[in-house]
A and B are shown apart, each in its own frame.
Chain A
Amino acid sequence: MSTNKASRIGEEIWKTRVDKVNAELVTLTYGTIVAQLCQDYNSDYQEVNKQLDKMGYNIGMRLIEDFLAKSGVGRCANFRETADMIAKVGFKIFLNVAPTVTNWTSDNNQFSLIFDDNPLADFVELPDDGRAQDELWFSNILCGVLRGSLEMVQVQIEAHFVSDVLRGDDTTEMRVSLVRYIEDEMPPEEE
């Protein structure tokens, strides 16, 4: 499936099938969660990143069903298609953004998502304790969501942010790498 077709599907679902909610409610809710985590873990940002990823993972495992039920899309033929599906359909229907898919490695197993717009990070300014800028990945929950949802459809990936405008970088970029396709487990043989 082409990128354009994915974009069309995403657009269509976004327009007709998705309940909308005030963006600031989402932004403030998510921001509060992250701030609370930072407080709970005494600004151990590595730990906060980990927790966000874990939360995302749990969300992803559930959200994937909603994605499949709403979009009705089938299995992707290859990882490139998966990338388009994530960027143009997944992000579109859940966050109304469509990050750019780019920086493919030659073996088609790694790509980057560039976010021009990140609704989770509106208004956010990282704490100026001199460490958050280097350690906290504010939107790390997204990595977990991808990991969780793809794992449910037998695709094991690894995802992490490599830059974030909140840190003063020029772009917000997430790197996604295919680890493996999880072989379909057979039911225990009863013979």
Chain B
Amino acid sequence: MSYYFTILSPTDTPIFNIAFGTSKGGGDGIARFRFPDTAQYMNQFIIHSSLDIVEEAQWTNGGMYLKHVDTYPPAAAYISAFLTPSGARFLLLHQPPQLPNSNTGSLGSSSLLGPGGSTTRASSSSIAANPTSPQTEEAVRQFMNEIYESFVKTAMSPFYKQGMEIRSPVFRTKVTAAGKKWL
């Protein structure tokens, strides 16, 4: 599974981005998206396109964790969201690994269009590979809560101004650690 995590300020400015891969089930923690390196912006597009749904979903219950809110089938991308009371959004895009036998050999833009088979195959395997299973939902919840805690601490630094990009290396390390721990 590959992850792309982003934090959006209340005014929709991205203030933090990180890409990482799963560390569960022998994963090496390196992100392997189905887009070529030249198309990394695709993740941002997909994540931002889910904002409308997040905005709808945020009124459906009082919780901060909205679980899995959106799917982008062409890229087999799943989006989970977490809202802070101050209006910042934590969005996590997860993309199950492409199974070798589905759509073999295409790591380029072609997979963006139709890897259909891979999702169904992936959902049957381990937690890490199934983005909608309750276990995954729970793992993401833990991940989000941990990030939230670090986020609050970072935001309390006197030199951090609301809405500013988070450049803190400490925060980045903590996010990486949380990713390693839960995802």
Contacts and interface: CB of A to CB of B under 8 A. Distances in A.
B167 A35 contact: no
Secondary structure class of chain A's binding surface, majority of residues: helix
Interface of B: 153-154, 156-160, 167-168, 170
B167 A34 contact: no
A41 interface: no
B156 A126 contact: no
Contacts of A28: 156, 158
Given A123-B157, A125-B159, 13 more contacts: A24-B156, A27-B156, A28-B158, A31-B156, A31-B157, A31-B158, A31-B159, A35-B158, A122-B156, A123-B158, A124-B157, A125-B157, A128-B168
Contacts, number: 34
A178 to B, nearest CB: 33
Contacts of B153: 123
A99 B44 CA distance: 48
B127 to A, nearest CB: 34
A28 B160 CA distance: 12
Interface of A: 24, 27-28, 30-32, 34-35, 38, 122-128, 132
18 contacts: A24-B156, A28-B158, A31-B156, A31-B157, A31-B159, A32-B158, A35-B158, A35-B159, A122-B156, A123-B154, A124-B157, A124-B158, A125-B157, A125-B159, A125-B168, A125-B170, A126-B159, A127-B159
A38 B159 CA distance: 9
A28 B168 CA distance: 18
B158 A128 contact: no
Interface centre among B153, B159, B160 (most CB of A within 10 A): B159
Contacts of A128: 167-168
Nearest to A28: B156
A126 B154 CA distance: 11
Nearest to A127: B159
Contacts of B167: 128
Interface centre among B153, B154, B156, B167 (most CB of A within 10 A): B156
Nearest to A138: B158
A164 to B, nearest CB: 14
B34 to A, nearest CB: 33
Nearest to A27: B156
A38 B160 CA distance: 12
A122 B156 CA distance: 9
Nearest to B155: A123
